[in-house]
Amino acid sequence: MQKRTVFKMLNEASVTYKDNSYLSQKNDSGWDRITFSEAKERALKLASAFIELGVNAKDKVAILSEAKIDWVISEFATLYASSVIVPLSIKLLPEEVPFRVNHSGAKFFVISENTLEKVIGSWNLYENLDLKIIVLDKPSAKISEICKAANFDEKQLLFIDDLYELGVSKLEVNLKKIEENENNTQENDVVTISYTSGTTGNPKGIMLTHLNYFSNSNEAVNTFKIGELISTLIILPTDHSFAHTIGLYTALVCGISIHFVDARGGGMNALKNIPINLVEAKPNFLLTVPALTGNFINKIKDGIKSKGPFIEGIFRRGLKAGILRNGDGFTKPGTMTQVATYFNYMIAEKLIFKKLRLIFGSEIEFFVGGGALLDIKQQQFYKAIGIPVYQGYGLTEASPIISTNTPFAHKMGTSGIILNNMLCKICDENGVELPKGQRGEICIKGDNVMKGYYKNEEATKETIKEGWLFTGDLGFIDKDNFLVVVGREKALLISEDGEKYSPEEIEEAIINVSPLIEQIMIYNDHKKYTTALITLNNMHVQSFIKAHKKVDADQLLQKLKKELLAFSKQPEFKGKFPSKWIPSNFQIIKEEFSEANFLINSTLKMVRHKITIKYQDRLDIMYGKDSQNTAAEKNKEVISQMFPIN
């Protein structure tokens, strides 16, 4: 039997899908594309150059760049050189990058023009003074300016085109070495060391092997029954484990054509280019996280509102009808419901929904969601307009996919069915397996489970016990065998009496029901009651103020109090959450939690411990003497600073 490695996937793809488009990126005149066979050829050339540079077996090659063709080629080339990739998030702070490079022991650093300043800005913090920097762009005036400003010798930079030229000139000499490296590769050899985002503590280096990627990629294709000649636009960063497995490896299994969002000029340009690239690339599916799908919903609703009350009315009635017609996606409502909702749904479908789908390109069929909990209201929204979100669940330590909804087994409000090639059990705090339906820690076992944490045997032993990966996430298996994820163990609220509860479900419910609230972090650290920090949706608040001309800060505050609890009146949430975990007080934060202020990480999740530290004084207000009045006065002060009211 052939070894189950990345090489096996790449070799088979380069033959089976030889002339099919694999990777595409935008340039000034259109899209650059390379086929599956060309990707392998380029990887061999670059591997030849890497060997000439001195990349040896088990060396570490760090990559810090926006997604592009040569990002992927660099990964394959590193493997051909029998080395290990260390993919890093472009959202890292300059001072956060050296820790990961130093800890991994990287000897080579692949970067881009966009990330150069971040890398050399902390040059004095790197332990390896001989660290070689490879730039995935051509020399430019901007690169020269960055180097000059940092007093960095530009001659230390190696440029990708020069390396391809070097690789070609030495390919005949190095090809035997490359073939030996491939033949000597074992299934348990490490492919990547991926560092956790550190939302709840210090980052750890997750070692994923050839077998991990092979197993997870193939089973994802088997589960989804993905056909050939389909395409996607990768919006998520390539270092994100979800995009990494699907964007690089699953594509090899079934010939998916990958387009990368145009990130030339940096992250803000990438955001602006998403709607343009969607229309151009015409993806059949998209990989998303809740923050992205939530932003899409807000923009859609704002666009509908701008069309006037007539169109908005058709949209609202059609959306409600669509939600009723779909049920939970698994159990469809009866004929009476289908008949009663037919007219409103079909009018909205013909006049609005059909056009809304074009926002995501003319070929869009579905989204695959991961990364965090996805509120059921988001799932209902997209299913109603004709683009279902097949929510899944996973984590980098599992390569990353553990479960997913699919067109063949879909139940909204869940994270789908466990993949066939792994075992799953729900355990209590003592590691004892719980009966179906009971909440506990999600534990899985299979070929997708990581090798361990790099240089951290203690953490590895705490996480992997007798082959079982203890995920640290809480959930249960429902009566229909769907996995329901309820939150992260380390993000737990802890009451005065030591009882614990996961806040994510309540947070998602509040955000999706309350248009005035943009973000919320619920808090309880051994306290008598639960509180929250919230940021506001400025546009919706201003619309409220405009509609209520004489509103003052106190009236707006009362409105926000009602908004905070509005979710509890919705049928799907009524009585669902224990009252002790619902916020009884809140503080308005003027500045939204964002990647810019480092309170949101690269996977668009809140970094709770950083938010807590930054706003500890605001949290303390809600637990001090006369806390209700003190908190209210502080909120009115913030409101007056943010909006033109008394």
Q: What is the CATH number of the domain that holds 600?
A: 3.30.300.30
Q: Letter for the amino acid at 512?
A: N
Residues 203 and 88 placed together within one structural domain of the fold? yes
Residues 95 and 36 placed together within one structural domain of the fold? yes
- Spatial distance between the Cα atoms of 258 and 499, rounded to a whole number of angstroms: 46
**Residue 332: pLDDT over 60:** yes
Q: Residue 352 falls within a domain, yes or no?
A: no
Residue 61 · residue 78 · CB < 8 Å: yes
Q: What is the CATH number of the domain that holds 102?
A: 3.40.50.12780
CA distances (Å), origin 271, targets 67, 179, 586: 13, 41, 31
pLDDT in tens, 625-645: 888 888 889 999 999 999 988
Under the banding of pLDDT at 50, 70 and 90, the label for residue 615 is very high
Q: Which two tokens stand for residue 230?
A: 């389909």
pLDDT in tens, 541-560: 999 998 887 788 899 999 99
Residues 477 and 616 placed together within one structural domain of the fold? no
The values of phi and psi at residue 25, to 5°, are -140, 155
Strand order in the sheet with 585-588: 517-523, 531-536, 585-588
**Residue 488: pLDDT over 80:** no
**Residue 496: pLDDT over 80:** no
What confidence score (pLDDT) does residue 282 get? 97
What confidence score (pLDDT) does residue 197 get? 62
**Residues with Cβ within 8 Å of residue 246, at least 6 apart in sequence:** 217, 220, 232, 256, 287, 368
Q: Residue 298 falls within a domain, yes or no?
A: no
Residue 96 · residue 595 · CB < 8 Å: no
**Residue 520: pLDDT over 90:** yes
Residues 163 and 229 placed together within one structural domain of the fold? yes
The pairing of strands 108-111 and 60-64 is parallel
Q: Which two tokens stand for residue 477?
A: 């298996």
Q: What is the CATH number of the domain that holds 420?
A: 2.30.38.10
What confidence score (pLDDT) does residue 201 get? 47
- Judged by average pLDDT, the poorest of 149-163, 341-355, 427-441 is 427-441
Residues 574 and 430 placed together within one structural domain of the fold? no
Domain end point (choices 216, 234, 260): 260
**Residues with Cβ within 8 Å of residue 151, at least 6 apart in sequence:** none
Residues 24 and 43 placed together within one structural domain of the fold? yes
Average pLDDT for the chain: 93
Residues 462 and 524 placed together within one structural domain of the fold? no
Residue 451 · residue 465 · CB < 8 Å: no
Residues 520-526, mean pLDDT to the nearest whole number: 91
**Of 159-173, 277-291, 374-388, 519-533, which one has max mean pLDDT?**
159-173
**Residue 584: pLDDT over 80:** yes
Residues 482 and 524 placed together within one structural domain of the fold? no
- Which domain, by its residues, includes 423? 414-486
What confidence score (pLDDT) does residue 605 get? 83
Under the banding of pLDDT at 50, 70 and 90, the label for residue 398 is very high
Helix (H, G, I), strand (E, B) or coil at 61: strand
What confidence score (pLDDT) does residue 200 get? 41
Residues 52 and 133 placed together within one structural domain of the fold? yes
Residues 365-386, mean pLDDT to the nearest whole number: 90
**Residue 199: pLDDT over 50:** no
250 exposure class (CB count in 10 Å sphere: 0-12, 13-18, 19+):
buried
What confidence score (pLDDT) does residue 326 get? 96
Percent of the chain scored above 90 by pLDDT? Answer: 77
Residues 468 and 608 placed together within one structural domain of the fold? no
pLDDT in tens, 52-79: 999 999 999 999 999 999 999 999 999 9
Q: Residue 100 falls within a domain, yes or no?
A: yes
**Residue 193: pLDDT over 50:** yes
508 vs 424: which has the higher pLDDT: 424
pLDDT in tens, 16-26: 999 999 999 99
Residues 199 and 80 placed together within one structural domain of the fold? yes
Domain end point (choices 206, 237, 260): 260
Q: Residue 336 falls within a domain, yes or no?
A: no
Residues 420 and 477 placed together within one structural domain of the fold? yes
Q: Residue 168 falls within a domain, yes or no?
A: yes
233 exposure class (CB count in 10 Å sphere: 0-12, 13-18, 19+):
buried
Q: Residue 274 falls within a domain, yes or no?
A: no
Residue 215 · residue 421 · CB < 8 Å: yes
Domain end point (choices 222, 239, 260): 260
**Residue 217: pLDDT over 70:** yes
Q: Residue 358 falls within a domain, yes or no?
A: no
Residue 384 · residue 297 · CB < 8 Å: no
pTM: 0.84
Which 8-state DSSP code applies to residue 362? Answer: T
Left (φ > 0), alpha (ψ -120 to 50) or beta: where does 151 sit?
A: left
Q: Residue 222 falls within a domain, yes or no?
A: yes
- Spatial distance between the Cα atoms of 360 and 355, rounded to a whole number of angstroms: 10
What confidence score (pLDDT) does residue 498 get? 66
Helix (H, G, I), strand (E, B) or coil at 503: coil
Q: Which two tokens stand for residue 118?
A: 């971040």
**Residues with Cβ within 8 Å of residue 617, at least 6 apart in sequence:** none
152 CB neighbour count, 10 Å cutoff? 18
What confidence score (pLDDT) does residue 31 get? 97
**Residues with Cβ within 8 Å of residue 544, at least 6 apart in sequence:** 516, 551, 556, 559
Under the banding of pLDDT at 50, 70 and 90, the label for residue 85 is very high
What is the count of structural domains for the chain?
3
**Residues with Cβ within 8 Å of residue 88, at least 6 apart in sequence:** 62, 63, 64, 97, 100, 101, 195, 239
pLDDT in tens, 116-151: 999 999 999 999 989 999 999 999 999 999 999 999
